[in-house]
Amino acid sequence: MIRLENVTKVYNPRRPDRVEALRGITLDIPLHGVSVLQGPSGSGKSSLLSLVGGMARPTSGRVLLEGREVSRLPERFLTDVRRQTFGFIFQQFHLVRELSARENVLLPLYPLAEGFAAMRRRADELLARFGLTDKAQHKVRWLSGGEQQRVAVARALVNRPRMVIADEPTAHLDSRLSRELLGILHDLAAEGRAVLLATHDPLVADHPMVENRFRLRDGRLVEADG
């Protein structure tokens, strides 16, 4: 379980462009099943995902991972927690276009902690799982949209995360690729990983696999159901 306790996030606190992106959020997110975060543009969804995934820290309040406060860990430890717990799929995938599919999948593991051979095997298993064996050495810039999507998913899984976090993962996909991605996310949940999605897309939000829905408006939680 990931618990947010009275979390706020203020950007540019001492400037005229100060933004209160999150205002007193208290929330429990299970470490299994698919959870969805909905809300209009600017309501704070991406900010919340960043706090949950340890990519940013709250301005006030606490983030707890299975009872352990992670929001105030020194950077080095927070990085370890992030790498051991979360995999990220970004809206436009954020792949490095000039690197190969395999190199992109390996990126979250740098600097290389284990032996390189073992990690390369792990990357190749994931590429095989998603039908990309033939593309392992191809530069991402030459891959199709669907192939890039699957590289992004493989990259999110390379550290065997307990939770996969995806911010608007279908925003730039047609409905066929969106459905394919939903199938993959469903499989991840079925194999015991938690999936946390921020989305506007009804295809995602209304999907029967979604177990928990949270809704933000103006940085506040307006509704949470199970």
Footprint of ligand ATP (CB under 6 A): 11-12, 19, 21, 39, 41-47
Q: Residue 12: is it exposed, middle or buried by C-beta count within 10 angstroms (0-12/13-18/19+)?
A: exposed
Distance CA 34, CA 205 (A): 10
Residue closer to ligand ATP (CB basis): 44 or 122: 44
Tokens representing 52 are 């949950």
Q: How far is the CB of 187 from ligand ATP (least distance, A)?
A: 26
Cβ neighbours around 180 below 10 Å, total: 18
Q: How far is the CB of 97 from ligand ATP (least distance, A)?
A: 23
| Smallest distance from ligand ATP to CB 12, Å | 6
Indicate the residue among 19 and 31 with the shorter CB distance to ligand ATP. Answer: 19
Peptide bond into 111 cis (omega under 30): yes
In the complex, least distance from residue 199 CB atom to ligand ATP, rounded to whole angstroms: 9
- The CB-of-2 to ligand ATP minimum distance in angstroms stands at 17
Closer residue to ligand ATP (CB): 51 or 195: 51
* Nearest residue to 168 via CA among 22, 10, 39: 39
Of residues 51 and 132, the one with the C-beta less far from ligand ATP: 51
Please report, for residues 36, 86, 119, 126, the alpha-carbon distance to residue 39 in angstroms, rounded to integers and kept in the order given.
10, 22, 38, 32
Instruction: Output 47 or 149, the one with its CB closest to ligand ATP.
Output: 47
- Residues 8, 61: Cα–Cα separation, whole Å: 6
